A and B are shown apart, each in its own frame.
Chain A
Amino acid sequence: MAGIFDFVPAIVLLPFVSFLVALAVGNRLPKGGAFAGIVATAGSFLLSVATFFTVSGGQTYNQTIYTWANGLDGAVTLTFGLLIDPLSAMMLVIVTLIATLVHVFSLGYMNDEGETGLPRYYAGLGLFTASMLGFVVADNLLMAFMFFELVGLCSYLLIGFWFREPGPPSAAKKAFLVTRFGDYFFLVGVVAVFATFGTAAFAGSESFPHLAEQALHGEHSVNTFGFEPRTWFTIVGLLVLGGVVGKSAQFPLHTWLPDAMEGPTPVSALIHAATMVAAGVYLVARMYGFYALSPTSLSIIALIGGFTALFAATMGVVKREIKQVLAYSTISQYGYMMLGLGGGGYIAATFHLMTHAFFKALLFLGAGSVIIAMHHNENMWEMGGLKDKMPVTYYTFLSGSLALAGIVPFAGFWSKDEVLYETLVHGLGGSPILLVAYAMGLLAVFFTGFYTFRMVLLTFHGEPRSQTARDPHGVHWNVKGPLVVLGILAATAGLVNMTPVAELTGLEIEFLHQWLGHGIEGLTSHHYVELLESQAGYHAAEIGPIVPGLVSLALALAGAGLAYFLYNDAEPTEHTDKLGGAKTVLYNNYYQDEYQVWLANSLVQPFSRGADKFDQGVVDGVVNGVSSVSLLSGNRVRRIQSGVVSNYAVLLTLGLTALILGFGLLGGWF
Chain B
Amino acid sequence: MLIEGLIAVAFVAALVVFVSPNEYAGRLAAALSLLPIVGSLYMWSQFDATGNALLGGSIAFETDFVWLTLGGLDVHWFVGLDGISMPLVVLTTILTTLAIVSAWTPIDTRQSQFYGLMLFMEANLLGVFTALDFFVWFVFWEAVLVPMYFLVGIWGGPRRKYAAIKFFVYTNIASLAMFIGFIALVFGLGDSVSSMRLPEIAMALRGGELGGFAGLDAGALKLAAFVAMFIGFGVKVPIVPLHTWLPDAHVEAPTPASVMLAGVLLKMGTYALLRFNFTMMPDVAQALVVPIALIAVISVIYGAVLALAQQDLKRIVAYSSVSSMGYVILGLIAYTTYGVGGATFQMVAHGLISGLMFMAVGVIYNTTHTRMVGDMSGIADRMPVTSGIFVAGAFGYMGLPLMAGFAGEFFIFQGAFASTVHAAMPLFTAAAMFGIVIVAGYLLLAMQRTLFGPFRFDGEYEVTEAAFHDVAPLAVLLLLVIVLGVAPDLFFQMIQQAVNPILQTGGGL
Contacts and interface: CB of A to CB of B under 8 A. Distances in A.
A165 interface: yes
B436 A619 contact: no
A654 to B, nearest CB: 12
Nearest to A74: B509
B302 interface: yes
Interface stretch (B18-26, B202-210, B427-435): B427-435
Interface in B214-273: 240-241, 243-245
Interface string B148-161: 01100110000001
B401 A75 contact: no
Contact of B183 (A195, A600, A623, A663): A663
A188 B455 contact: no
Contacts of B418: 191, 194-195, 223
B401 A149 contact: yes
Contacts of A187: 410, 413, 433, 436
Contacts of B433: 184, 187-188, 191
A184 B444 contact: no
B244 A615 contact: yes
B170 A623 contact: yes
Contacts of A226: 423
Contact of A640 (B71, B165, B451): B165
Name, among A225, A607, A612, A627, the residue most crowded by chain B CB atoms within 10 Å (CB to CB): A612
B70 A667 contact: yes
A666 B183 contact: yes
A68 interface: yes
Contacts of A165: 453-454
B402 A641 contact: no
Interface stretch (A86-94, A166-174, A275-283, A455-463): A166-174
A582 interface: no
A645 interface: yes
A229 B278 CA distance: 34
A623 B249 CA distance: 14
A81 to B, nearest CB: 15
B426 A664 contact: no
B401 A150 contact: yes
A74 B509 CA distance: 7
Given A164-B454, A191-B413, A69 B445 contact: no
A612 B165 contact: no
B454 A648 contact: no
B70 A145 contact: no
A68 B403 CA distance: 12
A75 B337 contact: yes
Given A166-B453, A187-B433, A195 B414 contact: yes
Contact of B492 (A69, A168, A181): A69
Contacts of B240: 619
Interface stretch (B55-63, B171-179, B365-373): B171-179
A76 B338 contact: yes
A169 B448 contact: yes
A85 B146 CA distance: 62
Given A163-B380, A645-B154, A194 B414 contact: yes
B426 A225 contact: yes
Contacts of A177: 437, 440-441, 444
Given A188-B433, A612-B310, A164 B455 contact: yes
B47 interface: no
B433 to A, nearest CB: 6
A76 B414 contact: yes
A619 B241 contact: yes
A67 B406 contact: no
Interface in B174-212: 175-176, 179, 183
A176 B440 contact: yes
Contacts of A609: 309
A623 B247 CA distance: 14
- Give chain A's interface secondary structure class: helix
A191 B417 contact: yes
B500 to A, nearest CB: 5
Interface string A374-387: 00000000000000
Contacts of A656: 142-143, 146
A72 B407 CA distance: 16
A82 B426 CA distance: 30
Interface in A653-668: 655-656, 659-660, 663-664, 666-668
Contact of A71 (B139, B337, B398, B410): B337
Interface in B480-509: 487-489, 492-493, 496-497, 500, 509
Given A69-B489, A648-B149, A652-B149, A164 B430 contact: no
Nearest to A226: B423
A611 interface: yes
A69 B407 contact: yes
Interface string B100-122: 00000000000000000000000
Contacts of A176: 440, 444
B457 interface: no
A604 interface: yes
Interface string B391-403: 1000100101110
A652 B183 contact: no
Interface string A604-617: 11011101100100
B305 interface: yes
A192 B425 CA distance: 12
A75 B493 contact: no
A157 B388 CA distance: 10
B413 A153 contact: no
Name, among B153, B183, B309, the residue most crowded by chain A CB atoms within 10 Å (CB to CB): B309
A228 interface: no
Contacts of A600: 441
Nearest to B497: A72
A166 to B, nearest CB: 5
Nearest to A157: B391
A160 B430 CA distance: 30
A325 B430 CA distance: 37
Interface in B295-317: 302, 305-306, 308-310
Interface in A396-428: none
A181 B401 contact: no
Contacts of A612: 306, 309-310
B288 interface: no
Given A146-B406, A149-B401, A641 B165 contact: yes
Nearest to B508: A74
Nearest to A613: B309
Name, among A163, A652, A659, the residue most crowded by chain B CB atoms within 10 Å (CB to CB): A163
A180 B437 contact: yes
A192 B426 contact: yes
Nearest to B509: A75
Given A173-B448, A641-B162, A71 B338 contact: yes
A184 B401 contact: no
Nearest to B142: A656
B378 interface: yes
A153 B399 CA distance: 11
B276 interface: no
Contact of A667 (B176, B183, B410, B429): B183
B402 A146 contact: yes
A514 B164 CA distance: 72
B437 A181 contact: yes
B73 interface: yes
A399 B44 CA distance: 63
19 contacts: A69-B492, A71-B337, A72-B497, A73-B496, A75-B496, A147-B401, A169-B451, A173-B448, A177-B444, A180-B436, A184-B434, A184-B437, A192-B417, A194-B418, A608-B305, A615-B244, A648-B168, A656-B146, A666-B183
Given A163-B378, A612-B310, 16 more contacts: A71-B496, A75-B336, A146-B401, A157-B391, A173-B448, A176-B440, A180-B440, A187-B413, A188-B429, A608-B305, A623-B245, A648-B153, A652-B146, A664-B70, A667-B73, A667-B183
Q: Which 8 residue pairs are nearest across A and B when measured between Cβ atoms?
A: A669-B70, A146-B401, A169-B452, A612-B309, A620-B244, A608-B308, A608-B309, A75-B337
